Amino acid sequence: MNGIAGAVDSAANGAALVGVEPSSALASFSGGTEGAEQPQEQVPARPVEEQRWQVCSRLPVQLVVTIPLPPLSLKELVELREGQVMLSSWLSRDDVPLLAEEVFLANVSFEPAGSYLGVRISGFQRKSAGAAEMVQLYGKTRGVLAEGDTDADHTLNDIRLPASLCFGSKTMLLHQIMDLTAGDAIVLERAVHAPVNILVGRRIVAFGELISVRGYYGVKLTKLAEPARRLRESQAQF
């Protein structure tokens, strides 16, 4: 036993004299550390928020370029006809709002993208009262009756339904939308000369030709969509 202890002490002392760590000398004396279990490097776990973002960032979101039209009563909705002109209060020289689903995202200007309609982001701040009107129309205050009104105060024909003119839309992933900056261009899923959509709420009720009347955006109806057509036919039966 004393012989082994003496040999270990000699190895340690000798290693210290030549500038070698005693632990290295002991490892050499004992046959090295080959085969010994090495400590595993711990890989830090990703935060839960980061994992959730990785999932959410790939969700599809619909971008819509749209402006409000005067609200329609049920009577006006039933009486929609081909050739009718609907006029907005939005100047055709102004930028128009780009919505992400129903949330205001940016102001955009139109530009052709080959045979498709494109828009270019001009800014992420509302620049006109029209955009504020859009936020009010599609925000929490959206409804068919004004605050404080009751059904008893109105007949069905007095109820006003929110209407809008949709220039086009584009579906993008959430992380792509988050990367958008002023000056970026977006190609909409609509041909340049294709009809625009007229919506009441979220439902398409008609298609039309985009026109300008005294400097304001307007639309001339060219075809009634199936819901409006069915509503009109059912009204004619009474």
Query: Residue ranges per domain, the chain?
Result: 53-144+155-236
- Rounded CA-CA distance 231/216 in Å is 29
Which residues does residue 137 pair with via DSSP β-bridges, in sequence order?
Answer: none
- Rounded CA-CA distance 188/176 in Å is 15
Q: Which CATH number fits domain 53-144+155-236: 1.10.150.120, 3.20.20.140, 3.10.450.200, 2.30.330.10?
A: 2.30.330.10
Residue 151 is classified by DSSP as G
Q: pLDDT in tens for each of the 238 residues of the chain?
A: 444 444 444 444 444 434 444 444 434 434 445 555 566 666 565 676 777 777 788 889 999 999 999 999 888 888 899 999 999 999 999 999 999 988 899 999 999 899 999 999 998 864 443 444 444 444 433 333 334 444 444 566 678 889 999 999 999 998 899 899 999 999 999 999 999 999 998 889 999 999 999 999 999 999 998 766 666 655 554 3
Q: How far is CA 205 from CA 49, 82, 185, 224, in A?
A: 41, 12, 29, 6
Q: For the full predicted model, state whether its pTM sits above 0.85.
A: no
Cα 175 to its chain centre, rounded Å, is: 9
